[in-house]
Amino acid sequence: MSILKLVEYSIFIGKADPELSQIISQDNYSKIAILVDENTRQHCLPVLLKNIEIEHSIIEIPAGEQHKNLSSCRHIWEEMMLQGMDRHSLLLNLGGGVIGDMGGFCAATYMRGIDFVQIPTTLLAQVDASIGGKLGIDFNLVKNSIGLFKNPKAVFVNPVFLQTLPESEIWSGFAEVFKHALIADADLWHDLQKVTSLSALDWQPLLARSLRIKKQVVEIDPYEKGLRKALNFGHTIGHAVESFSFSADKPLLHGEAVAIGIVCESWLSNKEGGLSQKSLEQIAAFVKKRYPSFSFQEKDFPRIMEFMKKDKKNRDGRINFTFIPEVGKVEWDQYCEEEIIRESLRYYLSI
């Protein structure tokens, strides 16, 4: 087990049952509820409860991003009230990004805020969503448009939960792992290029390396005024392709879309930001080998561009990007002409 200490909380990486027991008992909470969905209730809750004793109640919501909304929040708040949770209660969020973001949001607003602990169970949530205090829900079809920043009491990242996931979900989370390498750690990128199979991976040190990068970024810039925008690399085009994939009824996993976004935004970084041709080709080859190819056509570009124009990072109607001028370095608040952006989509289709 390793521990990453941030100013307000710690991230425990690996098996940390005694530490979790201590966090739960040290504050003498009046009530503890565990937020789950039907998947984490079946596959992850028994793993969690095997080695620690928690007097708890359960709050269950349906799984899936489509339930990350106000009506689920209403259900969670109602359950918290029905179960007599007061200001000195604790919510344990056991699940992926939806559970962590929405459970954290409900905890942070219930009775003006109660403690919550993140126990992320997907790779995506373990390396990204559970760290950095971004909480929220989707509203009027806009992702994460209602929310706030608030840090949890602690985060427990246990790779044991990855065994409950299909391989495509793990590759999806892996997109955030290699994004962290591309923006901040050329050595990690070098090592990741050797990873072709997930089965033999030693997760704990890899999670620690990836999380150290996110920790450093969010500690310097918790409210995304500058450096934290580095984490958006691949996400401007990634989010647009993800939204397009849903609207075209061929849904991509978040990380699959981000991997496409990383290829396109690496192409933009090459054309406009100085990234070498060799690095661009390495990144494209990495994605091509590990992620399913997603087919769309020139006639789909206007819809993809429309989604990009709605991105909440944009300023004055200009589409905002983060570039990597070389692997391990970032430049944020970059803007491109629309034709150049379309050209980057053509590059993805050509590889």
The residue nearest ligand GLY at its CB is: 231
**Active site (annotated) includes residue 337:** no
User: In the numeric block, which tokens belong to residue 254?
Assistant: 């978040």
Q: Which of 228, 229, 242, 256 is catalytic?
A: 228
**Active site (annotated) includes residue 176:** yes
Binding to ligand GLY by residue 272, rule CB under 6 A?
no
From residue 230 to residue 259, the character string flagging contacts with ligand GLY as x (rule: CB under 6 A) and all else as - is: -x----------------------------
User: In the numeric block, which tokens belong to residue 65?
Assistant: 């991003």
Residues 230, 321: Cα–Cα separation, whole Å: 9
Cβ distance 294 to 256 under 8 Å? Answer: yes
Q: Which of 169, 176, 242, 272 is catalytic?
A: 176
Name the helix (H) or strand (E) containing 284: helix 277-290
Cβ distance 234 to 265 under 8 Å? Answer: yes
**Active site (annotated) includes residue 31:** no
Choose between 121 and 322: whose C-beta lies nearer to ligand GLY: 322
Q: Which of 179, 209, 214, 229 is catalytic?
A: 214
Cβ distance 344 to 267 under 8 Å? Answer: yes
User: In the numeric block, which tokens belong to residue 230?
Assistant: 């580095």
Binding to ligand GLY by residue 138, rule CB under 6 A?
no
Window contacting ligand GLY (CB under 6 A); options: 126-134, 236-244, 267-275, 335-343: 126-134
**Residue 321, phi then psi, degrees to nearest 5:** -125, 160
Q: How far apart are the first and last CA of the chain?
A: 40
**Residue of 314, 303, 198 lying closest to 250 (CA atoms):** 303
Binding to ligand GLY by residue 134, rule CB under 6 A?
yes
Q: Which of 79, 101, 128, 185 binds ligand GLY (CB under 6 A)?
A: 128
Choose between 258 and 319: whose C-beta lies nearer to ligand GLY: 258
Q: Which of 180, 228, 239, 254 binds ligand GLY (CB under 6 A)?
A: 228
Token look-up 């056991």 returns 94
Binding footprint of ligand GLY on the chain (CB under 6 A): 128, 132, 134, 228, 231
Active site residues: 112, 134, 176, 214, 224, 228, 232, 235, 239, 254
